[in-house]
Structure 1
Amino acid sequence: MLKIIEISELQTGMFVTRVVKQKGKLRLTSSGTVKREEEITRLQEKGILELEIDLSKSLGEQSGLHDLSLQEFSKDYGQQLEHSLKIFEQAKDIQSRLMDRISKGKIANLEAVDELAHHLLERIFDNEDTMSIVTLVSENDQYFIEHSLNCSILMMLFARHLGYDEEVMQALGVGALLMDIGMLKLPLLLTEKPESFNQADTQKMQKHVKVALDLVGQLDDISDISREVIELHHERLDGSGYPEALTEQHISVYGRMAAIVDVYDSLTTKRPYRDAYKPASALLLMTDEIPGLDQKLLKAFISCIGANPVGSLVKLSSDKLAIVLNRNKRNPLKPIVMVFYDLQTKQSGEPYPLDLAKSEDVIKGSIDPADFGVNLQQFLIQTFSAK
């Protein structure tokens, strides 16, 4: 049975056959079931006004993602994850070439950078969770490139969570892609322990912000928002940051957001001189021990990515290990996880998805993947490629 509804009536679980009325240019390329609230939000943002749905194929009122069969979820998630990982690898190649050209002054405008940010933004609208997970499962073989991409993704996720429009989201994403470009002039310092820097090393490192601003100053279409991200991401509210030691009243919300994202991704990424922090441990450290971050915004960031972010390895109350696959916005402590190891029997079984919203099992804490020899990217690819 077909029925025409307004976009405000669209719910997860409904099967959409076509767009009936719209004010934007978005075109649906295929029919299908709406599985996530993010999909509805994207349709609204793109100007969809009325749609036709097939009631016979819909999954019922208020069904939502957590009412879909886990088998269907697992199949769809695998396809989405594969696509996001492929896009991330392509983005690494594009970003590497772009940064090389900008550092040599061989690019006169931001068209290519804008295009890359827009491509990542579109993928975020398609599936936030699988784009979140790629920021934690990257191979870390190109720290500078991966860090800039991770920060761009996280900045746009954060901005969307805070309710910014698509134009601001993209400007923030562009800023994150460019904010550490000055480090291209200081490649050797990337592998050094900050604690081992002498005064000359520290001063040199802190100049990378000015170098970046000089490089993007040659571009004729850099936005004020993107420039603020580059200029302020190392400033701290208490004046302990650099390069200008600005204090709270001189640091915009965009600079504060960039500081949080930059620190989080740095902590959760393995470096030559230290292992990566577990996501939950990094968030705790940022809350309790790292001064100068905007604590109100930090709480919003934690709400955005979750106390146990997608991609985290966790221990359940049933003494099983699992990887967080999908946030539950209605109940953040009850995500969908992929269970893969039993600590009691010390055996790995066939991985299976578990919806904690429908289980008595709960997350007891986070685990370091290295403690169990887990390579997250390889595990996820192997798990879902078989489905």
Structure 2
Amino acid sequence: MLKVIDITELQPGMFVTQVTKQAGVYRVTSGGIIQSDQEIAKLVDKGILQIEIDLNRSLQNQLSDSALPLDQVNEQGLNYQQQLDHALKVYEQIKTVHSQLMTRIRTAKVADIASVNAVSQQLMDKVFECDDAINIVTLISENDQYFLEHSLNCAILIIVFARHMGFDETLMRQLGAGALLMDIGMIKLPLLLTEKPECFNKAETKKVQNHVNIALKMISSIDTISEVSREVVRLHHERLDGSGYPQGLMAEDISIYGRMAAIVDVYDSLTSVRPYRSAYKPAEALHYMSEQLQGFDNELIEQFILCIGAFPIGSLVKLASNKLAIVMRLNKKRPLQPVVMAFYDLDSRQHDTVTQLDLAVVDDVIVGSVDPADFELNLKQFLHQTLLAH
């Protein structure tokens, strides 16, 4: 639903489609979600008087639940701290099981691939128990086995995404299983190639891209792998503009499952440290992906942002009070006002007492995402040593 409003009515979280009245000549070249009051102030400075917003695509209209305090228990009687501890243990247990599965596949016992459905079911159960906690676990895992953890993270993300989209549990489990299988073809490639610390050259890139066909061949004779799971494996590197691989398919040939898989695959890859580059900040990764309009499904990108938040769980942010904080729980009613853990004072350049802040209640706001490296902060280590013990 489209609505024209005065610039004075514009709020963070609203989706702007176009400028309808202005005193200057500033043009909005593409629609998007207003992220902050500072962004609104810039529009005012440009002479914008009225704008058109899309209520259906605005964060405030689509989300209605308020944020839960970190000390509130879930249906299993666990508060956030306990959920986080439990989610991390479950993640490591599933990682071990999945690692053993990959080892057996590497030794040609391909039939064991069928057990991936059980792993996906475990992940789905954990998402239903404590989705915020399992989300942050994907960011604080040790990242010592990239392809293994990447497949686990993608499985979690696509299950969370599918839940947001209203898919049933069977479909969620099938999507999760597909994500777990996306990169199994990598284990048939030489370790010197898959563990190379630099970017691949053209010949190496071609070999690595063949992992999709290898994976499809590996699962071709296994009846218990669903067609949805196979689609995820087959399509997760395809792009709507035909620039993907292995087939270079166009938009009409890429299902919604393949489009969702592409989004979670790239998001987790961008937010992970790689030997040849540092990790993107979560909000930075979302911005980058939203700019790739020809490759990804723009409407699904918007839904993914609605799903994981404008400032995703685990984001390091700067507050107006000049403190650093980590986003710990989303506020589904006011997505730009999550629950955060403040821990560092930028004025004194010292660590501060870890404090829970519900930004929908306290007089403070997020002014932007920041890079942990700028403060010589190892975010994974900090979360393990401080927040997990808090």
Tell me the TM-score normalized by structure 1: 0.79
1:58-69 aligned at under 5 Å gives the runs: 66=67, 68=69
1:103 Cα offset (Å): 3.4
8 Å Cα contact 2:322-2:347 kept in structure 1: yes
Unpaired runs of 5+ residues, structure 2, are 1-64
Deviations 1:66-90 (A, max 9, x none): 475x6557x8211111111111111
Equivalent residue number for residue 189 of structure 1: 193
Query: Are 1:150 and 2:153 counterparts?
Result: yes
Unpaired runs of 5+ residues, structure 1, are 1-63
CA distance in 2, matches of 1:167, 1:372: 44
1:378 Cα offset (Å): 3.1
Q: 2:88 aligns with which of 74, 85, 89?
A: 85
1:105–1:191: structure 2 CA closer, same or farther, 3 Å change rule?
A: closer
Equivalent residue number for residue 168 of structure 1: 171
Q: 1:314 aligns with which of 303, 313, 317?
A: 317
1:195 Cα offset (Å): 5.3
Query: Are 1:334 and 2:330 counterparts?
Result: no
8 Å Cα contact 1:315-1:364 kept in structure 2: yes
8 Å Cα contact 2:67-2:333 kept in structure 1: no
1:304–1:79: structure 2 CA closer, same or farther, 3 Å change rule?
A: same
1:36-75 aligned at under 5 Å gives the runs: 66=67, 68=69
Q: Which is further off, 127-136 or 375-384?
A: 375-384
Deviations 1:245-298 (A, max 9, x none): 000000000000000010000000001111111011111111114741111101
1:364–1:146: structure 2 CA closer, same or farther, 3 Å change rule?
A: same
8 Å Cα contact 2:114-2:225 kept in structure 1: no
CA distance in 2, matches of 1:343, 1:355: 20
Equivalent residue number for residue 11 of structure 1: none
Equivalent residue number for residue 261 of structure 2: 258
8 Å Cα contact 1:316-1:322 kept in structure 2: yes
Deviations 1:159-191 (A, max 9, x none): 000000000000000000001111112233334
CA distance in 2, matches of 1:131, 1:318: 29
Q: Which is further off, 187-196 or 238-247?
A: 187-196
CA distance in 1, matches of 2:324, 2:318: 5
8 Å Cα contact 2:317-2:368 kept in structure 1: yes
Q: Which is further off, 245-254 or 177-186?
A: 177-186
SS of 1:339 mapped into structure 2: strand
Equivalent residue number for residue 276 of structure 1: 279
1:238 Cα offset (Å): 0.3
1:367-382 aligned at under 5 Å gives the runs: 367-382=370-385
CA distance in 1, matches of 2:180, 2:322: 40
8 Å Cα contact 1:191-1:273 kept in structure 2: no
8 Å Cα contact 1:175-1:226 kept in structure 2: yes
8 Å Cα contact 1:109-1:221 kept in structure 2: no
Q: Percent identity?
A: 55
8 Å Cα contact 1:191-1:271 kept in structure 2: no
CA distance in 2, matches of 1:91, 1:273: 28
CA distance in 2, matches of 1:259, 1:309: 18
Give the residue type in structure 1 aligned to 2:330.
Answer: R
Query: Are 1:224 and 2:249 counterparts?
Result: no
Equivalent residue number for residue 307 of structure 2: 304
8 Å Cα contact 1:103-1:181 kept in structure 2: no
1:385 Cα offset (Å): 5.0
SS of 2:79 mapped into structure 1: helix
Tell me the TM-score normalized by structure 2: 0.78
8 Å Cα contact 1:82-1:381 kept in structure 2: no
Q: 1:100 aligns with which of 89, 95, 103?
A: 103
CA distance in 2, matches of 1:376, 1:88: 18
1:386–1:146: structure 2 CA closer, same or farther, 3 Å change rule?
A: closer
RMSD: 2.1
SS of 1:127 mapped into structure 2: helix
Give the residue type in structure 2 aligned to 1:219.
Answer: I
Greater RCO, CA 8 A, separation 6+: 2
CA distance in 2, matches of 1:386, 1:151: 27
Aligned length: 322
1:333–1:202: structure 2 CA closer, same or farther, 3 Å change rule?
A: same
SS of 2:356 mapped into structure 1: strand
Q: 1:120 aligns with which of 123, 126, 137?
A: 123
1:383 Cα offset (Å): 2.9
Give the residue type in structure 1 aligned to 2:336.
Answer: L
Give the residue type in structure 2 aligned to 1:377.
Answer: K
1:321–1:366: structure 2 CA closer, same or farther, 3 Å change rule?
A: same
CA distance in 2, matches of 1:237, 1:380: 37
